[in-house]
Amino acid sequence: MNAIRREWRALACAMQFLTRIPLSTRTLFDNKDYANSLAWYPVIGLILGGLVWLSGVALTELSSTSLAAALVLAVWVLLTGALHLDGVADCADAWVGGFGDREKTFQILKDPRSGPIAVVVLLLVLFVKWAALEVLLGSDHWSIIGLIPLLARGAMPYIFWRLDYASASGLGSALVEELSRQRILISLLVVALTVALSLAAELDILLLFAVVSLLIYLWWKRASYQKLGGFNGDCAGALVEFLELGLLLGLAIYTSYSL
């Protein structure tokens, strides 16, 4: 398989897994494709960020900023098929209901039903995102919104490379087994350069994003290791949502004080 075809398969695999954007392909992906696709996750994040930014630009003409923010959030959720929100719900139930028991926590993670804790946490995440979007829509910092999905998904290659995968089966274990360190390093370098160049004139926001991302990552890592001794697919999805939430909230607060 030549390099171009290999990369196309990896990109298509990442697009199909992380989004609901229709892709005209009948390719059957194998474990190697899924592992290679990790390096493309930040690119998918950038595409999602661009579409969210574009929807905000199109909806700023609405007389109600609240309605525009709600519609932008709806677009954001629909583009991803609520994939990572599902991880938040599962982790909320398992981390609280597992009571520190690793086996019980895993059992709850495998349960497709959502309890009241999951519902409350999901509502809080969506409400805070909506409020943050309302502040950012039409502001001078709206263009930065495209970097947030990029940063959130840029964490995925890193954690699969550096952290312990707690499940012995499933897609995540296949990703770890077939992982290419070189591809991950290139992916992380692209993320760092893209964010640094995009925010070269906004060093305060660059610092804000770096601090918020680090704090959320360290909290998430500590919680995942305490509950599971590592992380799994649901935890990875939850990290994406927590990073998006934290970065949105941080940027919204910064924007409010800058007005």
pLDDT band for 168, please (50, 70, 90 cuts). Answer: low
pLDDT tens digits, 140-167 = 999 999 999 999 999 999 999 999 998 7
pLDDT tens digits, 94-132 = 988 877 788 888 888 888 888 899 999 999 999 999 999
Q: Which of 25-29, 54-58, 75-79 has the lowest mean pLDDT?
A: 25-29
Phi, psi of 165 (to 5 degrees): -85, 120
pLDDT band for 259, please (50, 70, 90 cuts). Answer: low
Q: What is the mean pLDDT of residues 190-197?
A: 96
pLDDT at position 1: 57
Q: What is the mean pLDDT of residues 186-213?
A: 96
Q: At what angle do helices 41-59 and 65-80 cross, to 10 degrees?
A: 150
Provide CB contacts within 8 A for 44, sequence distance 6+.
14, 15, 18, 19, 153
CA distance 41 to 240: 11
pLDDT at position 3: 82
pLDDT band for 24, please (50, 70, 90 cuts). Answer: low
Cβ atoms of residues 79 and 20 within 8 Å: yes
pTM: 0.94
pLDDT band for 37, please (50, 70, 90 cuts). Answer: very high
Name the residue ranges covered by the structural domains of the chain.
3-258
Q: What is the mean pLDDT of residues 208-236?
A: 95
